[in-house]
Chains A and B, each alone.
Chain A
Amino acid sequence: MWLDFSAFLWITLKVSLFGAFCALDRTALLQMMFSRPLVAATFAGALAGNWEIGLLLGATLELYFLSEIPVGTIIPTDDTLLAMAAGGVGAALSNLPQSQNRTSGTLALLVLLTVLPWSAFTRKVDSWVRHKNGRLVDEVETALLAGPNLNRAQPSALNYHLHGLFNFYSASVVALGLMVMSSLLLVPLLLFLVPVWLQPLTDRLLFLFPVFGIVGLLSNMNQKRQLAVFAGVTTALLLFV
């Protein structure tokens, strides 16, 4: 029913070690949108052997978490880690025998149901790393004061900066590993429990995630004219398409 142990371990390692680089793009490095769920889940899916289901999961999560904005001191849910875990698990399990008579919609839904409960955990991890990195500034100050000698002081500042990046990376590896392993164990069980006759419904339930995302984004808009545009476009599409 489950993946064999070596495949289980290999997928977990691959997605965690490579996926954590995408997680770095989120705040610590570059911010070139490699960390967006659409990109991260597709990449994780490709790592695990099926980018198409990764892309589906990425598109679903992209809208779902888009309304969470990292403005000011707020740390939103780490949708990169969730997307990486979902994409990797979805792709790995799409080759299981019990997945063969299931469509990608059902598999994606079950993967999301096992991955999304980790949302609060990802926020805690992000917050913990930031607190830890915040203390690095004091350590750099101490190092600078301890050594007026340029050759001692400057490399230490550089090293502490890279240490902050390493903290982000290692925390992402551990968090991803935990999420991937738990989902790899739970989803096959759910696939076994959900009857095949329920599939027409489970296939379609996935559409609720983008809908929630759209609602979240619309709620963030405080301009009535934007809502008028939404109403106008949907009415035009209903009438003319």
Chain B
Amino acid sequence: MQCLGLAYAITPLLEKLYGKDPERLTRRTRRYLDCFNTNPYLAAAILGFFVHMESQSEEMGDQGLYLSSSLAGLYGAVGDNFFWNGLKPMTSAIAVMIFFWRPGLTAVLFLLLFYNLVHFGVRYIVYLSALHRGIGVLEKIDSLRLPLLRNIMGYVTTASLAVTTFLLVDYFDLKKGLGGNLAHLLVLLLVVGLWWRKKSGSKSSFNKQSEPV
């Protein structure tokens, strides 16, 4: 489905460049309908790169398309790791922590504002960079140090989960009849026990399934 979105996004440029030659326009539009799959946020970089190349000439546009399969794979790996493995879990974990600490709409606001600030920022930077510098966008993405940031976000996520584990005891009033520290310790033991069971490969009831495409 991403190729249809890509063709849709680049159509205004193609119309501007080849609008007077319908056959050429159809041929160029079809070229952008080839299989295309990458991280949806870093797709902005590839779109900017296509616009940069296609604006120069049809041949350059073909070269851009030729390079795009490598770029899509690279951006897919980097983007998925940063956004899906790093930013999304971190923002969600902090938002849930905020909820169990102070129940209210602050958690929702934090999730929406923080995530979108970062993701729109990255989209904007990589799109503009690709538009002006073409393949030079690779240096720009490299300078953003997304893998390093992802590692830092991993630590923040873990710390938030630890605090949430602690807050769950108070929120669900598990201290009743057990005492504060014992309840915390029992919940922690439950988390560690379930984690150990899952890590050691047991098929537990909370193992969720995913559907391959």
Contacts and interface: CB of A to CB of B under 8 A. Distances in A.
B210 A123 contact: yes
B96 A216 contact: no
B171 to A, nearest CB: 8
A231 to B, nearest CB: 8
Contacts of A67: 208
Interface string B191-213: 10011001100000010111111
Contacts of A124: 211
Interface in B1-28: 1, 3-5, 7-8, 11, 15, 19, 22-23, 25-26
Interface in A44-77: 51-52, 55-56, 58-59, 62-63, 65-77
B168 interface: yes
A210 to B, nearest CB: 6
Nearest to B7: A157
Contacts, number: 235
Contact of B161 (A27, A133, A140, A218): A218
A130 B181 contact: no
Interface string A213-235: 01111111101011101100110
Interface string B152-185: 0011011101111110100111101000010011
A153 B92 contact: no
Contacts of A74: 210-213
Contacts of A150: 15, 19, 22, 25-26
A241 interface: yes
Contacts of B107: 38, 55, 59
A127 B5 contact: no
Contact of B111 (A39, A141, A204): A39
Contacts of A59: 95-96, 99-100, 107
Query: Which 3 A-B residue pairs are closest in the complex by CB-CB distance?
Result: A233-B162, A123-B211, A150-B22
Interface of B: 1, 3-5, 7-8, 11, 15, 19, 22-23, 25-26, 29-30, 33, 40-41, 76, 80, 84-85, 88-89, 91-93, 95-96, 99-100, 103-105, 107-108, 111-112, 115-116, 119, 151, 154-155, 157-159, 161-166, 168, 171-174, 176, 181, 184-185, 187-188, 190-191, 194-195, 198-199, 206, 208-213
